[in-house]
Chain A
Amino acid sequence: MILTKNLRIRAAAVIGAAALLTSACGGADDDSGGSGGGQTGGGGGSDAAQIVVDTTFDIKTVDPGREYEPTGQILVKALYDTLLTFADDDTTTVIPDLASYESNDDQTEFTFTVAEGRVFSDGTAVTAADAVFSLQRLQGLKGNPSFLLDGVTVTEVDEMTLKLTTAEPSPALPAILATPSCGILNSKVVLENGGATDESDQAEQFLNETSAGSGPYTLDKLDAASEAILVKNPKYNGPQTPAYDTVILRNTEPATQKMNVERGDSQVALGLSGDMIDSLAEGVEVESVPSATVVFLLINSDAATSAVTAKPEFVKAVKAAIDYDSLLEIAGRGAAQATGLVPSVFLGALPASEALKYDADAAKAAAEAAGAAGQKLTLSFPNDIDPTGLNLTTLAERVQAQLAAVGIDVDLAPAPFATEVDAYRDGKEQIGLWYWNPDYMDPANYLAFGPGQTVGLRAGWPAGANTAIEELVAKGYTTGDLAERKTVFEEWGKAMNADGPFVPLVQPGSNVVYQPTVTGVYYNPVWLINVAGLSPA
């Protein structure tokens, strides 16, 4: 009796401790979301039956009007063509897809001519009415991506022509129309299945079972928890040449992704961190580039939040205190210093020579001038989210150590994203460590960091705080000419680096690991990877 009880207590202790111990290695052998094994499409190179792509799922829906999560973007990109798009290997020039366009000189009126002969997956022709329906539906659903077309009026001109007008000049509109959320749906099919261009729309469930687009693939199966299966659209007649008959996207833990792609159970892995890349086995390829995600520090300019951080000298001290090269070391393969808030893949990104520089002596002097000595400040960040494989806790610990070295004492305050995001959005953080993923491929995205703009306000930086920067923000929103636009954004970037309450830190690497049997792997800031662009080597 007593012995049994003894044993039970001992066993409980041992099992409990062992659970903690082994959890470190546990990731290796958990379920891999239906890793059927042996699914080695493309291995032969000729039949190109199927390709397996492993990723960590972040998906709610594949309804273009509602989706705004990374995995949803990958799928919707393959299922729905957009009016305009970008080539796989270019992120700066918009090219025609379902339509070509012309704009007036003010960049307020955009006329689209739908390409002749393009068809949806059921064989019906793509018309201007479908495009108008899709874009109006995106606006009317008031879902996550609806903001993309704020202030845009969509009208049908004739069967193959539509017009988009805006009150303000909108040079970013063509790039916005290339995002998967602006995918064109088969209006007849969607209307028959409960679709509408306002919040009464009931088509989401239908679209999660059946796709209704003109893209190179159609949806065969979607299980938001485990896998999505796409099959080639036999009616597709666009410019792309999808090579694989079936594309399987599986929800897989990063550690399992690594093993799967190493032994050929999958052909592509999207979720490996920079550190994992360094220990990859021989025989797999890596496409490693700086992602378009910018990780930055926010320093609150509102004296009500912190009298210390609100001082311009304090911002200067932090900017000079960070040893940017040492951050790259922990950010892993493919990472680069963020030269400004606009990431390197976009027009108007700053050259490396304009990036912030580490200067410990200047930082110490500025910290003293700001009265940071003896002050305990708080650095808040979300600790359950790893933008592009970069662990924010690790980064925050490094930043904390560097700030301490120049006499700035910060406490780390990690919190789950869902908790911390409110303090961030309300502008209540003294110092915040956050990241920004581009919504569309145009630098206008980043003007939100200006004074009085969305992110500017989160740093307690109201309108009127810096008129020079505000003028550049206004110019950035309206300048259409590409060369002029580049200059405006560079000027804005320099001014932000000098006086803005944000410290751009790193662009974590985007690492796509793939079997050498696959080609056509390109990183895209918005839809990550175009599965229709993959083909056997």
Chain B
Amino acid sequence: MTRVETQDRRQQAPRRSLTRRLWRAAPPGLRQPLGLVAALVAAAWLVICLIGPVIAPHDPLAQELPRFTPPGEIAFLGTDELGRDLLSRILAGARVTIGLSLLLVCLSMLIGSVLGLLAGFFGRWVDETIMRFTDLVLAFPTVILAMVTAAALGASLFNAVLAALVVSWPPYARVVRSIVLGLRGNDFVFSGRLLGFSAARSIRVDILPNTLGPTLVLASLDIGTAALLLSGLSFLGLGAKPPTPEWGSMVSAAVSHFDKWWLGVFPGLAILTVVMSFNFIGDALRDALDPGVERR
């Protein structure tokens, strides 16, 4: 009964402010144990990003401990093939992986949104040009295209972000375009145009705010994927260069020492928890913000 009422009210007020919708909707998503745990894990990683180097017991680059020490007293998570503390490297790696993933997602969102807005708002040849180009990029297998780009640019973290950017903006362009297409015919946009709004003002006041919600959901879902893609490129030797503590390259180095389980397991777990927690948060956000989704 209540569910029906809620839906009805939402239909009556489609332009309620984003923060309010978040506030009203987020608790149920986070009230689930999985969502709560995910939020806590992600928050912990974000804190580590900020203060990781301060709480690290060792310099992540210092080769000062015995090599291949198993997890224990000398080093909590063990040491690697050069006697570096694994815990310190994982903590330092959080800033690299999560920081760059956030940067990547922001840039993808920016580029994708701008192109989507232009395509959706102006239509005709602008739309055709932008969307055919988007289709072209989407037609390539994501990871392969990113690998090719990274290999062509040369191995470095900056180039890995560029390479990942090449493949990660099209979904934003498509989502934003479809929203803009839907909004363009609405009365409030139309009335704005009749009042003499310029295209820029119309986009800024009437259209952009309405695209933010879905774009943010997509972005939050994308953080995990971005972390995975960047780690993957580093794993293949196309991203971080040694001795940068990056999780993907740490797993890659562990491959040749498969019997020292801690070398691969801990950076792997770091990737796993980051990817999963951001994915669950993305899910919860989408459940909260998408009016079409039934509450569970």
Neighbour of A412 across the interface among B81, B242, B263, B272, CB < 8 A: B242
**Which A residues between 7 and 42 are near B, CB-CB below 8 angstroms?**
9-10, 13-14, 16-18, 20-28
Q: How far is the CA of A27 from the CA of B254 in the complex (A)?
A: 11
- B231 contacts the other chain (Cβ, under 8 Å)? yes
B280: chain A residues at CB < 8 Å are 10
Contacts of A9 in B (CB 8 A): 221, 279, 282-283
| Interface hits, B177-232 → A, CB 8 Å | 221, 224-225, 228, 231-232
Contact check, A17 vs B272: say whether CB atoms are below 8 A apart.
Answer: yes
Min CB gap B54→A, angstroms = 22
Assess whether A394 is in contact with B81, with CB atoms less than 8 Å apart: yes
By a CB distance below 8 angstroms, the chain B residues around A279 are 259
| B69 nearest CB across to chain A (Å) | 13
Chain A residues whose CB sits within 8 angstroms of the CB of B282 once the complex forms: 9
14 extra interface residue pairs, beta carbon distance < 8 Å, beyond A6-B283, A16-B232, A414-B155: A2-B293, A13-B279, A17-B228, A20-B235, A21-B268, A21-B269, A24-B268, A25-B258, A27-B258, A255-B259, A275-B257, A397-B242, A411-B241, A414-B242
Rounded to whole angstroms, the CA-CA distance of A416 and B238 in the bound complex is 10
Q: Are A21 and B243 in contact (CB under 8 A)?
A: no
Interface pairs A-B: 4 shortest CB-CB: A24-B264, A21-B268, A17-B272, A24-B254
Q: Which residues of chain B come closer than 8 Å to A289, judged between CB atoms? A: none
Q: Which residues of B contact A393 (CB under 8 A)?
A: 242, 253
B241 proximity list for chain A (CB < 8 A):
411-414
A383 to B255, CA, bound (A): 14
Residue of B63, B224, B258, B283 near A398 (CB, 8 A) is B63
Q: In the complex, which residue of chain A has the Cβ closest to the Cβ of B280?
A: A10
Is B5 interfacial (CB 8 A cutoff)?
Answer: no
How far is it, in angstroms, between the C-alpha of A22 and the C-alpha of B265 when the chains are bound? 8
B binding-site residues for A, Cβ under 8 Å: 61-63, 67-68, 81-82, 155, 221, 224-225, 228, 231-232, 235, 237, 241-243, 248, 251, 253-259, 261, 263-265, 268-269, 271-272, 275-276, 279-280, 282-283, 293-294
A20 lies within 8 A of B251 (CB): yes
Choose from A276, A330, A412, A416 the contact partner of B259 (Cβ within 8 Å): A276
Q: 5 A-B Cβ contacts within 8 A?
A: A23-B264, A26-B258, A28-B258, A397-B242, A398-B63
User: In residues 399-421 of chain A, which contact B (Cβ within 8 Å)?
Assistant: 400-401, 411-416
A400 and B268 contact, Cβ closer than 8 Å, known pairs A9-B221, A9-B279, A276-B259: no
Give the distance in Å from the alpha carbon of A9 to the alpha carbon of B279 in the complex: 8
A16 CB to closest chain B CB (Å) equals 5
Closest to B264 in A: A24
Shortest beta-carbon distance from A394 to chain B in Å: 5
In the assembled complex, the CB of A395 is this many whole angstroms from the nearest CB of chain B, namely 10
- The yes or no answer to A396 lying at the interface (CB within 8 A) is yes
The answer to whether A21 and B271 have CB atoms under 8 Å apart is: yes
Those of A238-280 within 8 Å (CB) of chain B:
254-255, 273, 275-276, 279
Q: Does A91 contact B (CB under 8 A)?
A: no
Contact indicator A18/B272 (Cβ below 8 Å): yes
Residues of the B chain whose Cβ atoms lie less than 8 Å from the Cβ of A254: 256
Contact status B276-A14, CB under 8 Å: yes
Tell me whether A10 and B283 are in contact in the complex, defined as CB-CB below 8 angstroms, given that A24-B251, A400-B243, A414-B155 are known contacts.
yes
A398 and B82 form a contact (CB under 8 A): yes
Tell me, in angstroms, the Cα distance from A330 to B255 when the chains sit together. 16
B283 x A391 contact (CB < 8 A): no
How long is the Cα–Cα vector from A527 to B283 in the complex, in angstroms?
Answer: 59
> A384 an interface residue at 8 Å Cβ cutoff?
yes
Q: Given A20-B231, A398-B82, does the pair A391, B268 have CB atoms closer than 8 Å?
A: no
